[in-house]
């Protein structure tokens, strides 16, 4: 996880809660008709309806622990999974032709447009008309729906992400048993190092290697999760193809020093911001593709007084 996006679903929370609670209410009506037989599931729906809809990541982990404490096995586990999948029907939710709230409606309200796992791919939604052609980001079930079908529609288990991170790299890895940084819960404890000495050597001899290194900057409590995220999403390798772009950006930052910028403004009497000249806003790095890496380059050059 490169970008923390704890507020990504703020605009969607109320509507999504109503949608999931309606599904739970419909399921509870089936109890007397023998269509819902798993006592564990019935207890979960009755006691934790709101948590299942919009519970925090920590709350969802608590629900996982509660279900696992029931020690379901054999036919009991199969029935629980089958009935939970029917109550929390993710396939119906992702059908863009479905009437009412669906995955397209949800993703349209996301306030972030980049994949939080890699920050190098877009994750936004475009749709022509209300049910027309379009596309949306893939939705990663942070805690996989195959193992935890009762969390299939839990809002804070749904991470808008890119296909590469979700399907190609994460795949079936279980982030509950194999903890990773959570975009909705953890701080940005993965950072990048731009070697200033290597850059200055590169300026003298452009055949030299430039390198972006990934590092963990948090405490011991997040070290394991950060290492897992770096490994799963191949963060050590993913930015190498962008080194040409990064070197050009570094050159812009190097040449447009604060002193030169002040002289240029004074000489030409043009009031233009550094963000315009660099095509990069240090404070808005979260909203720019590869912005976290570019922030590291910017800070290294500015703080190193290159």
pLDDT for 65 equals: 97
Q: Using pLDDT thresholds of 50, 70 and 90, give the confidence band for residue 33.
A: low
Task: Look at the block and give the residue holding tokens 């939604």.
Answer: 125
Q: What angle do CA 113, 119, 122 make, to 5 degrees?
A: 35
Q: What angle do CA 179, 285, 138 make, to 5 degrees?
A: 50
Contacts of 259 (CB under 8 A, 6+ apart): none
The lowest-confidence range among 11-25, 53-67, 97-111, 179-193 is: 97-111
pLDDT for 11 equals: 98
Distance CA 249, CA 199 (A): 12
**Global pTM?**
0.93
Q: What are phi and psi of 264, to 5 degrees?
A: -65, -40
Q: Using pLDDT thresholds of 50, 70 and 90, give the confidence band for residue 99.
A: confident
pLDDT for 208 equals: 66
């Amino acid at each position: 996880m490169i970008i923390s996006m704890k507020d990504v679903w703020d605009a969607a929370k109320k509507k999504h809660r109503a949608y999931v609670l309606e599904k739970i209410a419909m399921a509870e009506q089936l109890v007397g008709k023998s269509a819902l037989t798993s006592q564990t599931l019935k207890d979960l729906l009755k006691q934790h309806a709101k948590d299942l809809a919009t519970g925090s990541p920590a709350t969802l982990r608590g629900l996982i622990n509660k279900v696992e404490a029931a020690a379901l096995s054999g036919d009991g586990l199969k029935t629980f999974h089958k009935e939970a999948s029917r109550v929390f029907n993710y396939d119906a939710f992702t059908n863009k032709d479905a009437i009412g709230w669906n995955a397209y409606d949800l993703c349209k309200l996301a306030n972030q447009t980049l994949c939080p796992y890699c920050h190098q791919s877009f994750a936004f939604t475009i749709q022509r008309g209300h049910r027309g052609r379009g596309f949306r980001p893939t939705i990663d079930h942070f805690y996989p729906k195959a193992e935890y079908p009762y969390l299939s529609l839990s809002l804070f288990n749904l991470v808008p992400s890119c296909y590469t991170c979700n399907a190609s790299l994460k795949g079936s890895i279980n982030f509950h048993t194999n903890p990773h940084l959570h975009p909705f819960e953890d701080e940005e404890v993965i950072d990048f190092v731009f070697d200033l000495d290597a850059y200055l050597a590169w300026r003298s001899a452009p055949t030299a290697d430039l390198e972006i290194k990934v590092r963990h900057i948090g405490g011991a409590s997040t070290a394991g999760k950060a290492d897992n995220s770096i490994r799963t999403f191949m963060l050590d390798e993913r930015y190498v193809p962008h080194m040409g772009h990064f070197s050009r950006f570094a050159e812009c930052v190097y040449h447009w020093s604060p002193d030169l910028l002040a002289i240029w403004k004074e000489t030409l009497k043009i009031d233009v911001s550094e963000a315009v000249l660099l095509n990069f806003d240090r404070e808005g790095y979260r909203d720019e593709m590869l912005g976290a890496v570019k922030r590291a380059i910017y800070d290294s050059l500015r703080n190193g007084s290159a």
